[in-house]
Chains A and B, each alone.
Chain A
Amino acid sequence: MNDSERELDETQNKPGPPGMPAWVKISAAVVAVVVVAVIVVLLVSGGGGEHGPGRHGAESAVTTDVTSSALSAGALG
């Protein structure tokens, strides 16, 4: 019995739809923690302002030169 057939069998035996798998919940939790950590690090290290490639790569000092020309702060990339 392959995965698809097993899932089909489960749908016929269970009264309701299946819940979210554990691996999805764990992955979501890990991603949430990482995202929060990154945001905290950016805020602590003087985040805010404009966004650009040099912001993450160059440590402080000369990044002003780069970020001043970066595209709008709304762009995530």
Chain B
Amino acid sequence: MHLTVSIGWVGAVLAYLGLGVAAVTSERESTIRGAWIAMELIGWWVIVPLALASLLTGVVMALGTKWGLIRYYWVLISFVLTTFATSILLLHMPDVSTVADRARAARGSQLEGLGGDLFHAGVGLAVLLFVLSLNIAKPPGLTRYGWRRQASPRGS
């Protein structure tokens, strides 16, 4: 479940990024307008639900397994980055809706000035791929808390 929504999140961001590139490079008004409308829809209806699901399933999995949430650096960093990315996404989406609304009414050069939101999508994708690589590699490294838990007789 966690793997599915996490990879789905990456795929949805790739689709968003593709639309953003189309919005920046296209000279056709209908394409730019359509791209922004699609970016808003994908953002709210696909990326946001997948991000929240990824965060939730990640926390549940961490707490329900030997890995814990703050015992290993790779889990802790994954959790922090996922929380950060989700927070930025939720803060950013209203801006996307604002621009999409402008795209619906804009004409000519106004549309070309809307850009493609490539920065946020690009950085977000980089963060997600980094987290994904941590989840696959599971690099060693106990936190101080994890070390104390394992050193104690009752630790697990």
Task: Report whether chain A binds chain B.
Answer: yes
Residues of chain A at the chain B interface (Cβ within 8 Å): 3-4, 6-8, 11-12, 17-18, 20-21, 23-24, 27, 51-59, 61-63, 65-66, 69-71, 75-77
**B47 proximal to A (CB < 8 A):** no
The 4 closest A-B pairs by CB, nearest first: A57-B115, A62-B113, A77-B92, A56-B119
**Contact pattern, B 21-44, Cβ under 8 Å of A = 1, otherwise 0:** 001100000000000000000000
Q: Count chain B residues whose beta carbon lies closer than 8 angstroms to a beta carbon of A.
A: 42
Extra inter-chain contacts (9) besides given A53-B99, A58-B24, A70-B95, CB under 8 Å: A3-B138, A11-B151, A20-B73, A24-B77, A27-B77, A53-B115, A53-B117, A59-B115, A71-B98
* Interfacial residues of chain B within 89-139, with CB under 8 A of chain A in the complex: 89-96, 98-99, 102, 109-110, 112-120, 130, 138-139
* Interfacial residues of chain B within 57-98, with CB under 8 A of chain A in the complex: 66, 73, 77, 87-96, 98
